[in-house]
Amino acid sequence: MTTALDLTDKRIVVTGGAGFLGRQVIAQLRQAGADVQKITVPRSHDCDLRQMEHCKRIVDQQDVVIHLAAHVGGIGLNREKPAELFYDNLMMGTQLIHAAYEAGIEKFTCVGTICAYPKFTPVPFKEDDLWNGYPEETNAPYGIAKKALLVQLEAYRQQYGFDGIYLLPVNLYGPEDNFDPRSSHVIPALIRKVYEAQLRGEKQLPVWGDGSPTREFLYSEDAARGIVMATQHYSSHEPVNLGTGYEISIRTLIELLCELMDFEGEIVWEADKPNGQPRRCLDTERAKEAFGFTATVEFRQGLEKTIAWYRQHAA
């Protein structure tokens, strides 16, 4: 453990701070002693992080940057807009890192993506395997753009002594997630699908793929706690996984969601649609050893909370 970064009087920028994960990160920053009056959340409508002058403006006179902002979605968006996902994520991140270095930022926490891992990574994914192959094709433009930021942070640490860290959270879920079917990830997409099938009284539920891929999911509040703990206690060029180490197949996931939501219809697997990466599960030892992080929210409990939130806000 390095000397803990005291957040009490720090001026902190949280890009993406108004989003699903960002709101949780701000709540965790407050719990860690940060002054909410000193937390800045730039909004995309008046701050385009693809523009260098905007990046310079938001880091001016600040101490800490937590970079969560991303142009991101599920398999559908990855297939539809690979060029936008590559350009937007690369430009936002690389310019923000450079602007933060020039502004003398004390700590830069970059949240990367599990999509950066090679398509066939030995399971559980260890951080040292990050460069051992090409990412799954539908994820690659997004994954490689985010992975380039890890290289930039390593280079800036080496040449300038810039304290930037890089975290790899697994697929997130939780209340306030994005439930838009065009851009949502698997859990919110499936919750909405089941909910709408119930509303329409349908007896069949079509689901992409064949159900065989496995995934690991991290509750948003746990992820936020890990991000803040790393910001305070971690300082190294080595990337760190944030996850639970619990692997579940998409087939088992959809069966569990149907059970929790009392959907009794038939699941129809659309095997002509893409599966995405075959397996995904993280080795979470480095986070535990480096800054004492372990996830605490049990998966079933997290799903129940997410479903309850969606049912309340679906209208």
Catalytic residue annotation? 142
User: 169 among the known binding-site residues?
Assistant: yes
Strands (E), the chain: 12-15, 39-40, 64-67, 107-111, 164-169, 171-173, 204-208, 214-215, 217-219, 240-242, 248-249, 266-270
| Residues 6+ positions from 6 with CB-CB distance below 8 Å | 33
- Calpha distance 26→312 (Å, rounded): 23
User: 193 among the known binding-site residues?
Assistant: yes
> Hunting for tokens 């991303």 — which residue is that?
70
User: 112 among the known binding-site residues?
Assistant: no
Nearest C-alpha neighbor of 19 from the set 187, 205, 220: 220
User: 25 among the known binding-site residues?
Assistant: no
User: 170 among the known binding-site residues?
Assistant: yes
User: 38 among the known binding-site residues?
Assistant: no
User: 135 among the known binding-site residues?
Assistant: no
- Cβ(172)–Cβ(67) below 8 Å: no
- Calpha distance 165→176 (Å, rounded): 26
Give the chain's end-to-end CA distance (angstroms, integer).
46
- Calpha distance 109→65 (Å, rounded): 6
User: 140 among the known binding-site residues?
Assistant: no
User: 16 among the known binding-site residues?
Assistant: yes
User: 18 among the known binding-site residues?
Assistant: yes
| Annotated binding-site ranges | 16-22, 146, 169-172, 185, 193, 208, 215
| Annotated binding-site ranges for substrate | 193, 208, 215
| Annotated binding-site ranges for NADP(+) | 16-22, 146, 169-172, 185
